[in-house]
């Protein structure tokens, strides 16, 4: 004989929860993790040295932002597009996505100004164009340059060793701590069925644990560095 409660059909529906912040955070985290993992940057065999690329990129951005002459802006646009055309299709889409987003965002931003005063149209269009050229140029740069070459180039520009060391560490910690955050978020999401009234506690918990784990990892790394003969000399690293 079955007990009575087993014969009843289960119709428990957990109360709906408005917040979707776990999912949203997981999604944005997943996005950057994917970018960073691929972000080795695929350098071709005949790629220019990174320091030269940085100088060229900076030069282009300064030129585009200073110059108001349409012809020169068009020439810069052409240059950026030709470079883009030489990249593989997957990378082109990746670069273009950011460009389109930046362009649309800028266009929306200047629309009220154009409506208020139609004489501003040509200047506003030029602003949108300039934004798109710069964003595309940066996108091309980071998709064709390896991160370790970027830090190498910074050393060539005499950026202090401590700063470069910190930048490298940051890059690695973003991946490590990002992974930790992904796991924590998934764990919390799986455990919160229905309405979760303690969302703010979990914000503190997830980021707090990430911070504590980060400090722990940092201590371990320093000890490992010392075991390998590190003498507190960051400049010589």
Partner 1 sequence: MHIPENYLSPATCAVMTAAMVPVWVHSVKKVKEELPKDKIAMVGVGAAFSFLGMMFNVPLVGGTTGHAVGGTLIALLFGPEAACLGVSIALLLQALIFGDGGILSFGANCFNMAFILPFVGYGVYKLIAGKAAQEGKSGRLYVAAAIGSYVGICLAALACSIEFGIQPMIAHDAAGNALYCPYGLSIAIPAMMIPHMAVAGVIEAVFTVAIYAFVRKTSPDMTYDSIRLANPKVESKKSRTPVFALVAVLIAATPLGLLATGTAWGEWGADEIAEIAETGSPLGYTPKGMLEGFSLDVLMPDYTLGEMNEVVAYILSAIIGTALLVIIFKLLSMALRGKSAKNAA
Task: Please say whether the beta carbons of 155 and 161 come within 8 A.
Answer: yes
Q: Does 227 bind partner 1 (CB under 8 A)?
A: no
* Residue from the set 84, 139, 153, 188 that interacts with partner 1 by CB under 8 A: 139
With contacts defined by CB under 8 A, name the span among 5-13, 45-53, 79-87, 106-114 that binds partner 1. 106-114
Q: Under rule CB under 8 A, which residues in 61-100 are in contact with partner 1?
A: 61-62, 64-66, 68, 98
What lies within 8 Å, CB to CB, of 188 at 6+ separation is 22, 202, 205, 206
Q: Does 9 bind partner 1 (CB under 8 A)?
A: no
With contacts defined by CB under 8 A, name the span among 3-11, 81-89, 123-131, 186-194 that binds partner 1. 123-131
DSSP H or E stretch at residue 93: helix 89-116
Q: What is the dihedral of CA 216, 217, 222, 228, to 10 degrees?
A: 130
* Residue from the set 80, 87, 153, 181 that interacts with partner 1 by CB under 8 A: 181
Q: How far is the CB of 88 from partner 1 (least distance, A)?
A: 19
Q: Does 161 bind partner 1 (CB under 8 A)?
A: no
What lies within 8 Å, CB to CB, of 196 at 6+ separation is 17, 19, 202
Q: Does 171 bind partner 1 (CB under 8 A)?
A: yes
Q: Under rule CB under 8 A, which residues in 37-56 are in contact with partner 1?
A: 39
Per-residue CA distances from 96 to 46, 146, 202 (Å) = 23, 20, 36
Overall size of the chain counted in residues: 237
Burial degree of 15 (CB within 10 A; 0-12, 13-18, 19+): exposed
Q: Does 188 bind partner 1 (CB under 8 A)?
A: no
Q: Does 148 bind partner 1 (CB under 8 A)?
A: no
What lies within 8 Å, CB to CB, of 30 at 6+ separation is 182
* Residue from the set 74, 125, 169, 224 that interacts with partner 1 by CB under 8 A: 169
Q: How far is the CB of 12 from partner 1 (least distance, A)?
A: 22
Q: Does 170 bind partner 1 (CB under 8 A)?
A: yes
With contacts defined by CB under 8 A, name the span among 1-9, 44-52, 82-90, 203-211 that binds partner 1. 203-211
Q: Under rule CB under 8 A, which residues in 204-223 are in contact with partner 1?
A: 204-212, 214-215, 217-219, 221-222
Task: Please say whether the beta carbons of 162 and 235 come within 8 A.
Answer: yes
């Amino acid at each position: 004989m079955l007990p009575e409660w087993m014969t009843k059909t289960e119709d428990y529906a957990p109360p709906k929860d408005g917040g979707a912040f776990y999912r949203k955070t997981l999604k944005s985290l997943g996005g950057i993790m994917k970018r960073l993992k691929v972000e080795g940057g695929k350098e071709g065999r005949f790629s220019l040295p990174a320091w030269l690329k940085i100088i060229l990129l900076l030069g282009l951005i300064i030129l585009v932002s200073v110059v108001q002459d349409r012809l020169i802006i068009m020439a810069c646009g052409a240059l950026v597009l030709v470079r883009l055309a030489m990249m593989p299709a997957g990378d082109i889409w990746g670069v273009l996505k950011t460009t389109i987003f930046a362009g649309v965002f800028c266009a929306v931003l200047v629309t009220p100004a154009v409506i208020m005063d139609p004489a501003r149209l040509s200047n506003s269009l030029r602003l949108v164009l300039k934004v798109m050229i710069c964003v595309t140029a940066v996108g091309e740069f980071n998709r064709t340059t390896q991160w370790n070459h970027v830090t190498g180039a910074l050393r060539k520009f005499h950026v202090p060793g401590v700063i470069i060391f910190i930048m490298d560490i940051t890059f690695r910690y973003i991946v490590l701590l990002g992974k930790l955050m992904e796991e924590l978020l998934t764990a919390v999401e799986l455990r919160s069925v229905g309405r979760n009234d303690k969302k703010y506690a979990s914000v503190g918990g997830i980021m707090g644990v990430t911070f504590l784990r980060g400090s722990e990892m940092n201590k371990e790394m320093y000890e490992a560095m010392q075991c390998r003969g590190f003498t507190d000399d960051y400049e010589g690293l």
